[in-house]
Amino acid sequence: MLRHVLAVFILLAPGLHARQGVRIPPPFMPQMQGIDVSHHQKKIDWNALLANEPVEFAFVKATEGANFTDTLFNSNWTTLRQVGLRRGAYHFFRAYGCGEDQARHFLSTVDMQAGDLAPVLDIELLDGVPPEILVEEAKVWLQQVESQLNIKPIIYTNQHFYESFLAGHFDEYPLWIARYAQDKPVLTRGRRWQFWQYSNEGCIEGISSKVDMNVFPGTPEALEAFSWYPTIEIATEALGAP
């Protein structure tokens, strides 16, 4: 199990490659372990996973482009709520598409509940369009989702793509960086990241194929800063306003 890998890693030298290629990053104190999944992981036994692995959050693919919905999103999303694992949904961005249409598709697909992690915009392809078009349309998606949900979405990308095309454009948004290495990502301009995807070769109980592994360098209380809660609107009549 993953907890056994983590225990062994602490005792052995850095550079250990654990369980079929899973790379365990140097420990943060404190830290939380998470995964992200899509239909590529097929049907997941979430109960078996929670009973045997120290996974504390999960991101699941919801949508892609303006009209694709992940075939296992509804099942994963509902089950994660039932088993009590903190969940987040992500949208795979297609640069050739309209940001507004893609935001509308995501918002109409994902039923956010109190305590869910902020929505994620996965940006990792140019799709043959100029970088400035990608940035423009991505900003539209981010603004639409933030306006609707009143929380800043998280941007996911890999380190090379971030440095090549996104650096300097989205500094006000939380950042989730993919870098498959022992050393944590270090970004130019001193930009900090909030989540790190350190491997795409995880092998854990309840999932039949390799899975992406992530770490959040903080406590459950710190993770609350990236969690969504509905805005409570108080009617003016209740306040006795004229």
Residues serving a catalytic function are 36, 124
Spatial distance between the Cα atoms of 186 and 240, rounded to a whole number of angstroms: 53
What Rg value do the Cα atoms of the chain yield, rounded? 19
CB 201 within 8 A of CB 20: yes
Nearest to 21 by CA among 167, 193, 182: 182
Question: 3-class DSSP state for residue 210?
Answer: coil
Tokens 């592994």 belong to: 213
Give the up-direction half-sphere exposure of residue 170: CA atoms within 13 A in the CB hemisphere.
29
Spatial distance between the Cα atoms of 145 and 103, rounded to a whole number of angstroms: 6
Nearest to 24 by CA among 176, 204, 192: 204
Nearest to 131 by CA among 169, 177, 172, 173: 169
CB 188 within 8 A of CB 177: no
Nearest to 166 by CA among 181, 194, 186, 187: 187
